[in-house]
A and B are shown apart, each in its own frame.
Chain A
Amino acid sequence: MEQILANGLYLGAQYALIALGLTLIFSLMNVLNFAHGQMYVFGGFVTYTVVAQLGLPFIVGLIASAVVLAVMGALIEKFLFRPVIARSKRDESTMLLAAGIAFFLDAVILLLFGEKQRGVPKVVNGVFNWDMRLIMPYDRILIAVLAIALIVGFILFMQYSRTGRAMRALAQDRVAAQLMGVDVDRYSMIGFALGAMLAGLVGGLLVTITGINLGMGGPTSIKAFLMIMIGGAGVISGAIAGGFILGMMESIGLTLLAAYGDVTYLVIFVTLMIFLAIRPQGLMGKPWG
């Protein structure tokens, strides 16, 4: 049981961090960013390049991922989403744009980094072993702690900084925020950059453990959507809850249902369908959006 809980917490921390960026972008701009997974992959490859190819320390790789993805997110918002949102009131337009960006990023990743699985050496060696009841490599513990620290930092930033408050106002009521003097364009761009940066940071963190490859983008986006549907789309606390719930469900399912084959995600999807039929707005979302 200790092992199941530890695995669930570890998975939950990384999932929550992935979901945070997606839900931030959704809450600010009402955009479902289908390219979120590809941004995660791009971040992983940036860290890989800095650490494995250039031989620089892991922390430099992480910072590089954060900066590159933040710049990429800002540019995508300014030159792609902003004009489309200004000209089209239809939600499908931004969805199609996001899907197009996902395909585009896949192609760019293939060109820049190739098709192979990539990884960087372990940041910390050794395995924590508590009497065979709980086994957890130290690098996973470190990544989980870093992920939780980043989540806490993000919450504090959104809660207490001027930029965070402006973004929360924007998320609550875009028109009212604009009337109160919030520069909507500026904070939308910052929000998108922050969301992309979070995706890049998770990619950078996980490249030390799971490695990274071209095909991880799509499934990552799907999992991120699952998490924000569980927690409630556009709600920060919902994304965190969704991440930890999905991580825990996966850990419990993989251990208890192992004897029945790969039915864990089948059970998760069925549970989610029933849950959404009862509470379509998710755990913490509001029925009116």
Chain B
Amino acid sequence: MQRRDFLAGTALSLALALTTTTAAWAENAKLKIGFVGVTSGPAAAWGISNQRSMEARAAWLNELGGVQIGDTTYDIEIVPFDDQKDPKRAIAGMEKMAQDGIHYVVGPNVDDGAAAVRPVAEQNGIMYFPYAFPKELYTAPASNAILGMVANYQSGPAIYKYLMENNGIKKVAFVAGNESDPLSQRDSGAAAARELGLEVVSDSVTYQMDTTDFTPVLLPVIQTAPDLLVLSGVSPANAPQLIRSARELGYTGLISTETAQDAAVLAEGAGELANGFISVGGASTPELASDTMKEFVQRYTDMFGEYNDESNTKVYALEYIVETLKANPAAIDNVEEFKKTMDTFEAPNPFMVGDAKLTYVGTSSFGQKRQVSVPLVVNEYKDGKFETLFVAQVD
């Protein structure tokens, strides 16, 4: 009897072990996608919206059983790295990605970080999706960076032209933080404004990023009486204070920026003084959003408690990576294959209604397709939320 029990027990254990092993074999392979960007400090909102968008979308795709690339089904694993908006840290982050064998990285979020990681990415066969605007990152001989959003030199002229035609603006002033991104955005914005025939009445005033009182900063700008005040490259942390100071100084003209902002932050920091503020929004509006986009917003909110409008744009990078890999499975560990696919790549855009497509663009700005195609949505803030001013397409 004891012997029979022992045999039965052994058989059961073996069966269990085999089942467990089989289950382990049935687990999907991992596809690691990196994120190197800023998730701490005043610009943290930019990077955190990136990371959370990736994590929310990856969790959703994994829940659906993973993504099939060639004959293999993968679960997506997001590997994040906070570069603290420091180019040295960004390099360390990209090196970490290379050591982990990662070939596709989203980020960095700012110009100097994106420029700094270029050699590491190119030497280690990494394609990366910066949210930074220097053209040299995307024009030949550079070929590993893909701009993840609409650049300010693409959105700026569209906004100025719209305001010239609809609001009759003639004089424009620029204010920028004393950092590479805002300064380069100010310079390209001012050049674009002049090209459109606008009079640039002030473009030399800058501020420290940790400024706590913008009244003395804005005083000389407001005295030039512009019709439009452009807050070049302004971070979500500084925008409400600048708007508030400008209005408190008696400025009644238009205020705009080419960076994405957060409606809740504007409501808390500037209240109704922010009404009429024009900014580039996330790449979706209620009219454009598909059911997938709506579900993404819900899942993101459930996971992290609060949605960020910027994630309407930031959700795209991971989708582009996955869909391009699906189109050419050989690119899974070979970015040269990825580059070849980009020129002809086309897939349905799950985040937009209608027959919108995911395609790579940028030929007119960079001479090669090194930009993801997302709609340019220009918003106007009103009473705690953004309203769509107009929608356009780049390239």
Question: Which A residues fall within an 8 A CB radius of B?
Answer: 3-4, 7, 10-11, 14, 52, 106, 110, 114-122, 127, 129, 132, 135-137, 140, 206, 209-211, 213-216, 219-220, 223, 250-251, 254-255, 258-262, 264-265
Contacts and interface: CB of A to CB of B under 8 A. Distances in A.
B40 A7 contact: no
Interface of B: 39-45, 48, 178, 204-210, 212-213, 215-217, 219-220, 236-237, 240-241, 248-250, 262, 264-265, 268-271, 306
Contacts of B213: 7, 10-11, 140, 209-210
A264 B178 CA distance: 11
- Secondary structure at the B interface, as helix, strand, loop or mixed, is mixed
A251 B250 CA distance: 19
A115 B306 CA distance: 11
Nearest to A264: B208
Contact of A262 (B206, B220, B236, B270): B206
24 contacts: A7-B213, A7-B216, A110-B44, A114-B306, A115-B44, A116-B262, A117-B268, A118-B269, A120-B268, A135-B249, A135-B250, A136-B215, A206-B212, A213-B237, A214-B40, A214-B41, A215-B210, A219-B210, A251-B216, A255-B220, A261-B178, A262-B206, A262-B207, A264-B208
A216 B41 CA distance: 7
A220 B210 contact: yes
Contact of B204 (A7, A115, A261, A264): A261
Given A11-B213, A210-B241, A211-B269, A3 B42 contact: no
Q: Report, nearest first, the 7 A-B pairs whose CB atoms are least far apart.
A: A219-B210, A215-B41, A115-B44, A215-B42, A262-B206, A262-B178, A119-B269
A211 B237 contact: yes
B260 to A, nearest CB: 13
- Secondary structure at the A interface, as helix, strand, loop or mixed, is helix
Given A117-B45, A135-B249, A214-B44, A254 B264 contact: no
B249 to A, nearest CB: 6
B217 A254 contact: yes
B241 A116 contact: no
B240 A211 contact: yes
Contact of A213 (B42, B264, B270): B42
Contact of B216 (A4, A52, A115): A4
Given A260-B204, A262-B208, A250 B216 contact: yes
Q: Which of A7, A206, A215, A251 has the most CB of B within 10 A?
A: A215
A117 B265 CA distance: 6
Given A118-B268, A129-B250, A3 B219 contact: yes
Contacts of B43: 215
Contacts of B41: 214-215
Given A129-B250, A261-B206, 6 more contacts: A10-B213, A118-B265, A118-B268, A119-B265, A136-B215, A261-B204
B248 A211 contact: no
Contacts of B216: 3-4, 7, 250-251, 254-255
A169 B302 CA distance: 56
A132 B225 CA distance: 14
Nearest to A258: B220
A3 B218 CA distance: 12
A127 B250 CA distance: 9
A115 B210 contact: no
A129 to B, nearest CB: 7
Contacts of A127: 248, 250
Nearest to B308: A116
Contacts of A116: 44-45, 236, 262, 264-265, 306
B237 A258 contact: no
Q: Which of B41, B209, B212, B217 has the most CB of A within 10 A?
A: B212
Contacts of A114: 306
Given A116-B45, A255-B216, A122 B264 contact: no
